[in-house]
Structure 1
Amino acid sequence: MIVVTGATGQLGQLVIQHLLKSLPASEIVAAVRNPEKAASLAAQGIQIRHADYDQPETLLKAFAGADKLLLISASEVGRRLPQHRAVIEAAKAAGVGLLTYTSLLHADRSPLPLAKEHLETEQLIAESGIPAVLLRNGWYSENYLASVPTALQYGVLLGSAGDGRIASAARVDYAEAAAAVLTLENQAGKVYELAGDTAYSLAELAAAIARVSGKNVSYQNLPEAEYRKVLLDAGLPEGLATLLAESDTGAAKGGLFDDSHQLSELIGRPTTNIDKQLEVAV
């Protein structure tokens, strides 16, 4: 039995849909904070279990009988470590055979501040003694595609990544990789550095937006603090604005680049080219 945490989230739902291609629904458990939001999964025959990272007492029941567990990292930056610790402790108590964790690309040497909680979680997993596999996910292309409408409106794509190369991939690519690992044998101890096959700078992304849309779009590089202010003025929550600005600065230092092609090897196909996603986004 495979348990997927955060199963109603964007990544979790995609993972489950890929698992259903090779496993019966009866072998998949969706562990969710709000079971009422999992009606569509329940309708597919998937067992729904209440699992709240902030309510450790729910986790042991949610993980009971699990052969494999996918821990999708919590979304609340700054609160992840205690939440992940609760999951890891419950997984150990439940006798989970394999713990799979969605970490961050090159978490052990990443310049992104975001890496700290991921690396600390990896250390907790190692200390727990649970057989584990790490999926160090790179940047989701969707993180930048969200900026396309504004770039088209004003003719400029803003950021603070400089000339940094970004090897992003579509969320569905990472979901397919997670599903693959969960259904393969002999995965314990493996660490996957997952990123897109092709990389681009934000200037190149702006050029691609212009090419696909037929409109003039250029890239304007800003200091991190100024870019963060732009994001705040646009209405983004403070935490998200800080995360995006810091991540761009990390990209400028090579933090979002990888050319090992482990992701495409794992899913058995090329990763989704961002140009194809742009054709839909514009």
Structure 2
Amino acid sequence: MTIAVTGATGHLGRHVIDTLLTTQAPADIVAIVRNPDKAAPLAELGVQVRVAPYTDTTALGEALAGVDRLLLISSSEVGQRFAQHKNVIDAAAAAGVRQIAYTSVLNATTTPLILAPEHKATEEYLAASGIATTLLRNGWYTENYAGLVAEAREHGTVTAAAGEGRVASATRADYAAAAAAVLQDDSHLGKTYELSGDVAWSFAEFADTLSELLGRPVRYASVTPDELAATLTAAGVPADGAGFAAALDADTAAGYLSETTGDLSRLIGRPTTPLATALAAL
């Protein structure tokens, strides 16, 4: 059985490869990457490295030759994701890939979350592809808040427009362990998993946790989405990026990232990483 992972040198992809290496022979793992230089450490471990950007349909076809199972890690290019995912799915179908596991987003088909439409479109395209699919609807990564940790260290504040909204985050390593699990067991074919951390925390609790870790007070500075966008723009963030970040916080305030299903801890066979443990590593 040959397992391929797209975005294999990215934050999530490398965690998945490392997890697979604990149970699979390196030669049975294919790392699909954009930059072969970044993949040199994987090649040294014996992993097959194949270069194929999401935009290169010819390279994708060659990279997926002989692959049985594929983890399609969603593209990081918001606004271009669906077109890029479609390229991968088409190449996988042509290559005879038996299973695609896809990293989607929580409640992709029903949530108003600003990130959801491209994931919903991808899920629909997968359903029409004829390939057995496992949907990994990932919630938020705790590592996404590294910038807030840095702010807390420098200024003693955590600034967000999330109101009293809660986030059931987990670490990339947690989500990677779930991805590795479903790629190695046929019982997950055709399944959809809503993945999130075991505990949904508020930003006031986030600040309190940082206070304990840093040994000094950290305050949650709650602002409106417009105020956050203005602050980010003043700091040099492009207007589109600032508006997107503010919209994400508004979605958080609305509770779209707060669901705790238990699917993630069940898949990985252990509790998800506690917030304090995850923040201490940032």
User: What TM-score, normalized by structure 1, do the two folds share?
Assistant: 0.96
After superposition, give the CA deviation of every residue in 1:27-75 in whole Å (9 maximum; x if it has no partner): 1000111222210000000011111111111111100111101100000
Q: Distance in 2 between matches of 1:20 and 1:239?
A: 39
Rounded Cα–Cα distance in structure 2 between residues aligned with 1:83 and 1:124: 12
- Kindly indicate whether residue 71 of structure 2 is the aligned counterpart of residue 70 of structure 1: yes
- Report the Cα offset of residue 152 of structure 1: 2.6
In structure 1, the residue matched to 2:83 is 82
Q: For residues 132-184 of structure 1, what are the alpha-carbon distances to aligned partners after superposition, in whole Å with 9 as ceiling and x for unaligned?
A: 00000000001113311212322211111111111000111001110111111
- Matched residues, percent identical? 49
Corresponding position of 2:264: 263
C-alpha displacement at 1:249, in angstroms? 0.9
Decide whether the 8 Å contact of 1:2 with 1:182 is kept in 2: yes
> After the TM superposition, which residues 54-133 of structure 1 pair with which residues of structure 2 at under 5 Å, given as runs?
54-133=55-134
Unaligned runs of 5+ in 2: none
- Aligned runs of 1:165-180 on 2, under 5 Å? 165-180=166-181
User: How far 1:238 moved relative to its partner?
Assistant: 4.9
Greater mean deviation of Cα atoms: 105-114 or 161-170: 105-114
Question: How far has the Cα of 1:235 moved from its partner?
Answer: 4.0
In structure 1, stretches of 5+ residues that fail to align are none
Report deviation, 1:234: 3.3
Name the counterpart of 1:44.
45
1:251: how far off?
A: 1.0
Q: Does 1:278 align with 2:270?
A: no
Q: CA RMSD in A?
A: 1.3
CA–CA separation in structure 2 for the residues paired with 1:38 and 1:236: 30
Asked if 1 retains the 8 angstrom alpha-carbon contact of 2:162 and 2:252, the reply is: yes
Q: 1:133 to 1:239 in 2, by over 3 A?
A: farther
Counterparts of 2:185 and 2:232, CA distance in 1 = 41
Match of 2:246, SS state, is: helix
Q: Distance in 1 between matches of 2:40 and 2:156?
A: 41
Q: CA deviation at 1:236?
A: 4.1
Is contact 2:30–2:48 with CA below 8 Å preserved after alignment? yes
C-alpha distance in 2 between matches for 1:237 and 1:47: 38
**C-alpha contact (below 8 Å) 2:101/2:134 kept by paired residues:** yes
Change (3 A) 1:172 1:200: same
- TM-score between the two structures when normalised by the length of structure 2: 0.96
The Cα of 1:226 is off from its aligned counterpart by 1.8
Which residue number in structure 1 is paired with residue 135 of structure 2?
134
2:261 and 2:166 map into 1 onto residues whose CA distance is: 14
CA contact (8 A) 2:142 2:279 kept: no
SS of 1:36's equivalent in the other structure is coil
CA displacement 1:61-102 (0-9 Å, x = unmatched): 100111101100000000111101111111111110001100
SS in 2 for 1:59: helix
2:230 maps to a residue whose letter is K
Amino acid at match of 2:177: E
Preserved CA contact (<8 Å) 2:29 2:47? yes
1:185 aligns with 2:189: no
Corresponding position of 1:147: 148
Deviation of the 1:271 alpha carbon:
0.4
| Residue 239 of structure 1: how far off its partner (Å) | 5.0
What amino acid sits opposite 1:61 in the alignment?
E
Mapped to 2, the partners of 1:222 and 1:157 lie a distance apart of: 10
Verify the 8 A CA contact 1:152 1:215 in the aligned structure 2: no
Does the 8 Å CA contact 1:67/1:96 hold for their aligned counterparts? Answer: yes
Q: Is the 8 A contact 1:203 1:218 kept in 2?
A: yes
CA distance in 2, matches of 1:130, 1:232: 43
Taking structure 1 as reference, are residues 121 and 150 closer, same or farther at Cα in structure 2, changes over 3 Å only?
A: same
The separation in 2 between residues aligned to 1:106 and 1:5, in whole angstroms, is 23
SS of structure 1 residue aligned to 2:39: helix
**d(CA) in 2 for partners of 1:72, 1:175:** 10
